[in-house]
């Protein structure tokens, strides 16, 4: 990531909170890099699940967990349950998670 760039995550006492923009009913579950949103940059995530009864939210958390290489149980939806832009809390060491996020996002640049 570029120095001084706004990050799509913030540190929290228990890890990080990641801003994601979810597109449901996609052809595959995938993370596609960053996207500008009114709330700031967000990780662009596409999931096959439909937005019904939380299915897309669960698929979103699972896709991000797999992409980051963390347990599914460490990723929890904390905001935006019915919105396209959501907040996902990822439990763990904030320094390690931040470094991992920077590396993974850099792979999409």
What pLDDT is recorded for position 3? 44
What pLDDT is recorded for position 11? 95
Sequence spans of domains, the chain: 9-106
What pLDDT is recorded for position 4? 43
Strands 85-91 and 9-12: unpaired
Other CB atoms within 10 Å distance of the CB of residue 38:
6
Q: Note down pLDDT in tens along the chain; length 109 residues.
A: 444 458 999 999 999 999 999 999 999 999 999 999 999 999 999 999 999 999 999 999 999 999 999 999 999 999 999 999 999 999 999 999 999 999 999 887 6
Top CATH class of 9-106 equals alpha beta
């Amino acid at each position: 990531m570029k120095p001084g760039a706004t990050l799509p995550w913030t540190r929290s006492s228990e890890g990080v909170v990641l801003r994601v923009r979810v597109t449901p009913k996609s052809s595959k579950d995938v993370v596609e890099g960053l996207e500008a949103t009114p709330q700031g940059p967000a990780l662009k995530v596409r999931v096959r699940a439909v937005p019904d009864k939380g299915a897309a939210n669960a698929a979103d958390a699972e896709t991000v967990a797999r992409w980051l290489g963390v347990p599914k149980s460490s990723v929890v939806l904390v905001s935006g349950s019915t919105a396209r832009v959501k907040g996902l809390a990822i439990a763990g060491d904030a320094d390690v998670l931040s470094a991992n996020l920077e590396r993974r996002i850099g792979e999409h640049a």
